[in-house]
Amino acid sequence: MITAVGNPVYDTIETPHVKTDGRVLSGCSTNFCLALAKLGVNTILVGNVGEDYKDRIISDLNKFGITHKLYNSDQSGGFGLRYFGNHGERELRLLGDAGAISSFPDGCVDSDFVVFGPILGEVDLAYVEKVKAVSSAQIILDPQGILRNHNDGVIFHEKKEETEKLIGLSDVVKPNELECEVLTGIDPRIDARKHAEIIKSWGPKIVVITLAELGSVIYDGADFFPIPAYETVAKDSTGAGDTYMAGFMYGYTKCWDLRRCGCMGAAVASVMIEHTGPDFPLVLDEALRRQQNLLSLTAGIESLN
């Protein structure tokens, strides 16, 4: 069983290619669950939601076959996202904050994997320690939400005092390039391996770094795997890292090798970025076809150790 912890959000999105008509369902843990549901994997989403979007999110999650445990909040979370530049750079404006998640459902204690995908500080070190105290699940962390803060609705990123310890509690941690730079102060486009080694030294078993059109890298302390991106037109990169982790976890739960897991992650993310919102047409056969394409590109490349 896979449990994903993180507040669902309803965002507005504007890119050079598309603009949403109002707010659409999103969020790190939510996109993760959406992608796995489309691949035929059951998950449980845990998060907070306000009365303003409660009926809508229950309807949406039921539509996509996602089991959920939602706690009440004063308001639902959301961002206004505007993309610019050549590498998916974006501005985030806060539309709502559903607050910290305080409980972990009893029915999730027996999970095999708990994926923490916070979007704005709703998960912290104390919460992860509480989950680890009651569950033997492997811990998967997307650190985006633990590095975000806001000032009058403007989002900024910062590394907190507890961040390294929190990452050290994880079996797998997946930062993107911006988060890597916040964590280490170094541009991962220049030296992704150095980043991976630094983050690995904090204690996680596996480090996955996503680098937009440059692909991704995976490091387990012994081998370093470069994974290419699947070439496509990125109309909206919102959720790319979230769905990459869904594809990666699809293989990881099946004990695939890390190269296959990474190529599956890249394949799944490539479908997401061709579309906007939760209705992206992901099917397992197409994800596997794209994975095979990427595997063929890496067939002659040994891990860099």
Q: pLDDT grade, residue 87 (50/70/90)?
A: low
Q: Is 126 exposed, middle or buried (0-12, 13-18, 19+ CB in 10 A)?
A: exposed
> Is residue 236 included in any domain, yes or no?
yes
Q: What is the CATH number of the domain that holds 263?
A: 3.40.1190.20
178 to 60, 175, 203, 214: CA distances (angstroms): 30, 8, 21, 14
Q: Is the pLDDT reported for residue 83 higher than 90?
A: no
Give the per-residue pLDDT at 81: 86
Please state, in angstroms and rounded to a whole number, the distance separating the CA atoms of residues 268 and 232: 12
**Amino acid at the residue 52:** D
Chain segment 1-12, per-residue pLDDT in tens? 999 999 999 999
Domain count of the chain? 1
106 to 3, 43, 44, 53, 134: CA distances (angstroms): 12, 15, 12, 25, 9
> Is residue 25 included in any domain, yes or no?
yes
pTM of this structure: 0.94
> Is residue 105 included in any domain, yes or no?
yes
Please state, in angstroms and rounded to a whole number, the distance separating the CA atoms of residues 296 and 283: 20
> Is residue 251 included in any domain, yes or no?
yes
Q: Is the pLDDT reported for residue 131 higher than 80?
A: yes
Output the CA torsion sign for 170, 126, 164, 95.
Answer: positive
Q: pLDDT grade, residue 304 (50/70/90)?
A: low
Mean pLDDT calculated for residue range 53-74: 96
Backbone phi and psi for residue 27, each to the nearest 5 degrees, phi listed first: 115, 145
Name the residue range of residue 214's domain: 2-295
> Is residue 176 included in any domain, yes or no?
yes
229 to 48, 162, 212: CA distances (angstroms): 33, 32, 7
> Is residue 301 included in any domain, yes or no?
no
Chain segment 203-218, per-residue pLDDT in tens? 999 999 999 999 999 9
